[in-house]
Amino acid sequence: MSLSAEEAWQSLEQQLKKQLNQDPNTSLTHAQALLKDPQYSLENNRTAWFTFNLYLTYSQINLGLFDEAIENAQMLYALNSAEEYPVQRAESALLVAMVADRTSDIKLSRAKADEGLRLIGENKSQHAMLSADLYSLLSGSYRRNADYGQALVYAKLALEYSWEDKAKRATMHNQIGVLYDYMGNLELALKHHESSLIIRRENSNQQGISDSLYNIGEIYRDMKQYSAALSHFKQALQVDQSLGNPYHIANSHGKLGQVYLALNQLELAKEHIQKGLELTRKMEAKSDTSWQLSNMAQIYVAEQNLAQAKRLSEEALQLALETSAKRTEHTVRMTLLDIAVKQQQVDEAQKQISTLLAMKNLGLQYEQQLHKIRAQLYEDSGDISAAHQATKDFLVTQQKLYDYLEKQQTEKLKQNVEVIRQEQALSLLQKEKALQQAQLDNLKLQRGVVMLVMLLVVGILLMIYFRQMAKQRMANLKAQMLTNSLEEKNQLLSDVAHELRTPLTALKLSIELLEHNIEPDINKAYAKVHGKISQLDNLIRDIYHSAQYENNVMQLSKKTCDLGELLDDVIGDFDAQFKEKNQALLIHKPITSVMCNVDPERFKQIVINLLNNSLAYTYENGQTQVSLQTVTDAGNQSVQLVVSDSEPGLEEPELDKVFDRLYRVESSRARDLGGSGLGLAICKQIVLAHGGSIAAKQSELGGVEFTVTFEGM
């Protein structure tokens, strides 16, 4: 082949390249015409034929003609063996990876991109543009899986290999800007998008201009500057429609729908999302269809049409799971959580919260929000303990978020300094290539150094500022914790007041009946008054004892005692009460003495409280069994007191809470029988003060079994 012939087809290649950037339809038609020319057939000019087929496939991909594109890409891939044509094989693998990326086959896209890089091997610098495209695709695949850190690494490698090609450099600036946007660094994101837009306008790259406008609109949307966002998205849509790429047209419609939703202009939002959805369904792009469906679901949530919103969200979730679109899956699950909360479907809401918290790369801000919602759900359902734990998780995550934000600010400063450093390195490279401009380049370097020093000074000031802000946040957190502590104390006082109010109200009523001579049975009325006064006395005594144990004020007078004798003293006082209620009281204890080092009065109080609990809550004609025994385990001797009764019993979750102060269960054992709600709590405090343990479980008799264990002699 003569040099002039080679120059001729290479000139045609440059035309196709320019047309591809400006109008894919034109490059498609041109490539098809060139491939019909016999001089550029596979037999006559293999290199030219392969190059024109590359641009034909690129055009088909840009126009969303994925069936034709994958057929052509696989033909080129099969035709070029790795041994004979490694570079052409790598370029063909790139085409297959591009189609897979556009059709949401992330696994295939990543595999082919990796294969292409292996085929190039150590010759990446010699094939810089191909390397840049392969790294760009790898970056995109990791971005779709929400692994933004790894995506940024590959995007920067792609930018490094793109310096000889302005169009690719603009593409990579755009891609890096998207990643910084997702990572929350809007300043660097905007910087890269503006760099991309400048280059693309210089090259009159219409599709590239659309991409940059689209992504700048994204940043303004994230900054809640919706007017500016609308302006950029509308310009992007106008360019996309002129070029005819359905993939980009659908994306622009979707973004416009999101902005109109944020502005609460729901009809306009629905109109744009519907147009985008029709295009993605037609292209069979599952990942993009999932994203459009999630947008539409949010519109229906705003319209309070929760049934339709849920149906679309479930369809979107299915597609997101099929395509491993983690970012979309996260968005859809947040929408499903919102729907479940609005529909008061607590189990579904808790399920979505658990799934979201298990997802990787969720983000501390969303994690904090989920813990807050979970705490509210538990509080609304009356599960105060779980709500308290969820609130603690919320506070821990909030602190992590504060730490992360401070660290992120520091990283932003480092990244800004790194950008300046890279710009200086580029400036030095240009000086080496253009010695005639050395003086001008030196001036630029000096200015850059001044800027760097100023930036470092500003950075130090910002670090000091954010450190002070962190201290202030910590002070606020401590104040909040103090407030929470006061609220807990206030709640306790409120509970105590509630417990006192019931007997006082009954006492007041009985006195008023006596005062106005309404009560027919005077003796019975006085008995009621004495009973309520006794109940108040018991309640106040229990509160007093509980407070003493809580504050470690109560002193124990421990001595070596026969627990069997102490048990007999208490049982004698209860025989009449159990007979009056037709309840059997059975005692099991060894014949020999059971010696233990305890405070005898406090031990009796434990037995009294446990028997009072059983007497109050066991049905008539029931039974209560009390056993005292010595247990030896692995050479260690201990003493066990077991009190078990018949029905009613408690559910497993309630057994752990019966020792909480003023706790009332949601069952037949929660009847208002005049107890203080402190008896079991006091038992636990006394046992712990002795260094022992107390536990509750379901009794074989059908009720509850309490086991108290003390260290033996």
Q: Three-state DSSP class for 28? A: helix
Tokens in use for 302? Answer: 């705003």
Alpha-carbon distance of 231 to 226, in angstroms, equals: 9
Give the mean pLDDT of the chain. Answer: 82
Instruction: Read off the pLDDT of residues 671-703 as tens digits, 9 standing for 90 and up.
Output: 344 455 677 888 888 888 888 999 999 888 889
382, pLDDT greater than 90: no
Q: How many residues does the chain have?
A: 713
| pLDDT tens per residue, range 618-668 | 888 889 999 999 888 877 889 999 999 988 888 887 887 888 776 665 444
**What's the per-residue H, E or C state across 408-442?**
HHHHHHHHHHHHHHHHHHHHHHHHHHCHHHHHHHH
Q: What is the reported pLDDT for 495?
A: 55
Structure-model confidence comparison of residues 499 and 296, the more confident one: 296
Token readout for 676 is 């203080």
Q: With bands split at pLDDT 50, 70 and 90, how would you rate the model's confidence at 155?
A: very high
- Neighbouring CB atoms inside 10 A of 209's CB total 22
Tell me: pLDDT of 670 over 50: no
Q: How far apart are CA 92 and CA 115, in angstroms?
A: 10
Residue 424 has pLDDT above 70, yes or no: no
- How crowded is residue 7: how many other Cβ atoms within 10 Å of its Cβ? 10
Which is it for strands 623-633 and 584-588: parallel, antiparallel or unpaired?
Answer: parallel
* 692 within 8 A of 710, measured Cβ to Cβ: yes
Query: Which letter does DSSP use for residue 692 in this model?
Result: -
Task: Encode pLDDT of 453-465 as tens digits.
Answer: 888 888 888 888 8
Is the pLDDT score of 386 beyond 60?
yes
With vertex at residue 486, the alpha carbon angle to CA 482 and CA 492, rounded to the nearest 5 degrees, is: 145
Whether the pLDDT of residue 24 is over 90: the answer is no
Q: Are 680 and 613 in contact (CB under 8 A)?
A: yes
Which own/partner pairs from 377-384 qualify as long-range (CB within 8 Å, at least 24 positions apart)? Answer: 377/341, 377/346, 377/349, 377/350, 380/346, 381/346
| Closest alpha carbon to 690 in 592, 599, 616, 604 | 599
Domain topology for 264-362 = 1.25.40
- Residue type at position 332: V
Kindly report which listed range (22-36, 130-144, 516-530) carries the lowest average pLDDT score. 516-530
CATH number 2.60.40.10 is the correct assignment for the domain at 559-711: no
Contacts of 14 (CB under 8 A, 6+ apart): none
Spatial neighbors of 126 by CB under 8 A, at least 6 apart, are: none
Give the per-residue SS3 of 370-419: HHHHHHHHHHHCCCHHHHHHHHHHHHHHHHHHHHHHHHHHHHHHHHHHHH
Closest CA to 623 of 674, 663, 596, 587: 587
pTM: 0.42
Least confident of 103-107, 121-125, 532-536, 603-607: 532-536
The pLDDT tens digits of the residues spanning 551-562 come to: 565 678 889 999
Q: Rounded to whole angstroms, how far apart are CA atoms 177 and 191?
A: 7
Question: Could you please report the per-residue DSSP string of 645-661?
Answer: EES----HHHHTTTTST
**In contact, 452 and 417? CB cutoff 8 Å:** yes
pLDDT at 147 over 90: no
Q: What element of type H or E holds 361?
A: none
Three-class secondary structure of residue 708 per DSSP: strand
Q: Judge whether 453 and 461 are in contact, CB under 8 Å.
A: no
Q: How far is CA 593 from CA 563, 564, 567, 639, in A?
A: 8, 6, 12, 11
Per-residue pLDDT tens for 508-567? 777 777 777 776 777 777 776 776 676 566 667 666 666 666 656 567 888 999 998 889
| Distance (Å, whole) CA 35 – CA 62 | 19
Confidence class for position 315, pLDDT limits 50, 70, 90:
very high
* Domain range summary for the chain, segments of one domain joined by +: 264-362, 384-519, 559-711
* CA–CA dist 698, 619 (Å, integer): 16
Cis peptide before 86 (omega within 30 of 0): no
